[in-house]
Amino acid sequence: MTDDAAKAAWDADSARPEPQPAADVPLLRIDAVVKKFGAFRAVDRLSLDIRAGEFFALLGPSGCGKTTLLRMLAGFETPDQGRILLDGKDIAQVLPHQRPVNMMFQNYALFPHLNVRDNIAFGLKRAGMPRPQHDTRVAEMVALVKLEGLEKRKPDQLSGGQKQRVALARSLARRPQVLLLDEPLAALDKKLRESTQLELMELQRRLGLTFIIVTHDQEEAMTVAGRIGVMDAGRLEQVATPRELYEAPGSRWVAEFVGDVNLFEGQVEQRENSRLAIATRDAGTVFVAEPRQPVTKASVCVAIRPEKVKLSRRGPASDAVNARAINRLDGVVTDVGYLGGLTTYKVKLDSGAVLRSSMANTARLDLDAYSPGQRVVAWFTPDDCVVLEQ
Amino acid sequence: MSAPSIFTRPARLAVIAPYLWMALFFLVPFAFVLKISMSQTAIAQPPYTPVFDLTAGWEAIKAAFAALSADNFRLLVSDDLYVLSYLRSLVVASVSTAILLAIGYPIAYGMARLPRRWQSVAVMLVIVPFWTSFLIRIYAWINILQHDGLLNQVLLALHLVSAPVVWLSTDSAMYLGIVYSYLPFMILPLYATLAKLDPALLEAASDLGSSPARAFWLVTFPLSLPGVAAGALLCFIPIVGEFVIPDLLAGSDSLMIGQTLWLEFFTNKDWPVASAAAVVLLLLLLAPLLLYDRLQRRQLEAR
Please give the Cα distance from A296 to A253 (Å, whole number): 19
Extents of the domains making up chain A:
3-247, 260-389
Q: Which of B200, B211, B214 sits opposite A109 (nearest CB)?
A: B200
Cβ neighbours for A246, distance < 8 A, ≥ 6 positions apart: A222, A258, A259, A305
Residue among A21, A14, A215, A180 at smallest CA distance from A99:
A180
* Closest CA of chain B from A292, distance in Å: 45
A64: left (phi over 0), alpha (psi -120 to 50) or beta: alpha
For the domain that residue B254 is a member of, what is the CATH number?
1.10.3720.10
Determine the residue of chain B that is closest to A122 in CA distance.
B208
Do A379 and A325 meet the contact criterion of CB atoms below 8 Å apart?
A: no
What is the spatial distance between Cα A309 and Cα A283, in angstroms, rounded to a whole number? 13
> If we measure between CA atoms, which residue out of A365, A362, A359 comes closest to residue A380?
A359
**A111 in B contact zone (CB under 8 Å):** yes
Helix (H) or strand (E) holding A303: strand A299-304
Closest-CA residue of B relative to A172 is: B208
Nearest Cα to Cα of residue A215 among A41, A55, A366, A375: A55
For B220, the domain range is: 71-302
Among A324, A327, A323, A289, which residue's Cα sits nearest to residue A310? A327
Q: Distance from CA of residue B2 to its chain's centroid?
A: 48
Residue B32 lies in a domain: no
Would the CB atoms of B209 and A126 count as touching at under 8 Å?
yes
For residue B77, report the phi and psi dihedrals to the nearest 5 degrees. Answer: -75, -35
Locate the chain A residue with the closest alpha carbon to B223.
Answer: A113
Whether the CB-CB separation of B168 and B147 falls below 8 Å is answered with yes
Residues paired with residue A58 on neighbouring β-strands, in sequence order: A214, A229
Within 10 A of A128 (CB to CB), how many other CB atoms are there? 8
- What's the number of CA atoms in the CB half-sphere (13 Å) around residue A104? 29
- Contact between A240 and A227 under an 8 Å Cβ cutoff? The reply is yes
The CATH class of A260-389 is mainly beta
- Our CA dihedral for B35, B37, B40, B41, rounded to 10 degrees, sits at 110
Rounded Cα gap, residues B182 and A194, in angstroms? 55
Write out pLDDT tens, residues B6-19.
556 777 778 888 89
Closest C-alpha among A69, A76, A62 to residue A30: A69
Q: What is the pLDDT of residues B127-185, one digit of tens each?
A: 998 888 999 999 999 999 998 899 999 999 999 989 888 999 899 999 999 999 999 99
Domains identified in chain B, total number: 1
Pairing type for strands A299-304 and A262-272 reads antiparallel
pLDDT digits (tens, 9 = 90+) for B16-39: 888 999 899 989 999 999 999 999
Dump strand ranges (E) for A80-198. Answer: 81-86, 89-90, 101-104, 178-182
The Cα A77–Cα A95 span in angstroms is 9
Burial class (CB in 10 A: 0-12, 13-18, 19+), B206: buried
Is residue A241 packed enough to be buried (19+ CB in 10 Å), middle (13-18) or exposed (0-12)? middle
pLDDT of residue B254: 82
- Residue-wise DSSP of B92-135: HHHHHHHHHHHHHHHHHHHHHTS-HHHHHHHHHHHHGGGGS-HH
CA–CA separation, A318 and B45 (whole Å): 119
Residue B5 has pLDDT above 60, yes or no: no
Q: Judge: A170–B203 Cβ closer than 8 Å, yes or no.
A: no
Q: Is B300 on the interface with A (CB under 8 A)?
A: no
Q: Which among A263, A294, A261, A260 is positioned nearest to A276, based on CA atoms? A: A294
Is the CB of A113 less than 8 angstroms away from the CB of B222? yes
**Are B198 and A109 inside 8 Å of each other by CB?**
yes
Q: Distance between CA atoms of A369 and A376, rounded to whole angstroms?
A: 11
Q: Which residues pair with B206 in a beta bridge?
A: none
Task: Quickly count: other Cβ atoms within 10 Å of residue B91's Cβ.
Answer: 11
pLDDT in tens, chain A (390 residues): 444 544 444 444 444 444 445 556 799 999 999 999 999 999 999 999 999 999 999 999 998 999 999 999 999 999 999 999 999 899 999 999 999 999 999 999 999 999 999 999 999 999 888 888 889 999 999 999 999 999 999 999 999 999 999 999 999 999 999 999 999 998 888 888 999 999 999 999 999 999 999 999 999 999 999 999 999 999 999 999 999 999 999 999 999 999 999 999 999 888 877 788 899 988 888 989 888 777 788 889 999 999 999 998 876 655 555 555 688 899 999 999 999 889 999 999 999 999 999 999 888 886 668 899 999 999 998 889 999 986
Q: Distance between CA B250 and CA B92 in Å, rounded?
A: 11
Q: Chain B closest CA to A173's CA: distance in Å? A: 9
Chain B residues close to A106, C-beta within 8 Å: 200
How many angstroms separate the CA of residue B222 from the nearest CA in chain A? Answer: 7
Q: Which residues of B touch A105 (CB under 8 A)?
A: 200, 203-204
- The CATH classification number of A3-247 equals 3.40.50.300
How far A102 CA sits from the closest chain B CA (Å)? 6
- Residue numbers in B near A186 (CB within 8 A): none
Contact in structure between A296 and A390 (CB atoms under 8 Å): no
| Residue A183: closest CA among A220, A228, A232 | A220
Position B4 scores a pLDDT of 53
pTM: 0.81
Question: What percent of chain B lies above the pLDDT cut of 90?
Answer: 60
Answer whether B200 sits within 8 Å of A154, measured CB to CB: no
Cα B42 to the center of its chain, rounded Å: 32
ipTM of this complex prediction, to 2 decimal places: 0.81
d(CA B253, CA A298): 101
CB contacts under 8 A, B 180-239 vs A, are 198, 200-201, 203-211, 214, 218-219, 222-223
Nearest Cα to Cα of residue B175 among B101, B83, B237, B100: B100
Task: Note whether B209 contacts A103, CB cutoff 8 Å.
Answer: no
- Give the pLDDT confidence of B269-286 residue by residue, as tens digits: 899 999 999 999 998 888
Rounded Cα–Cα distance for residues B35 and B38 (Å) = 5
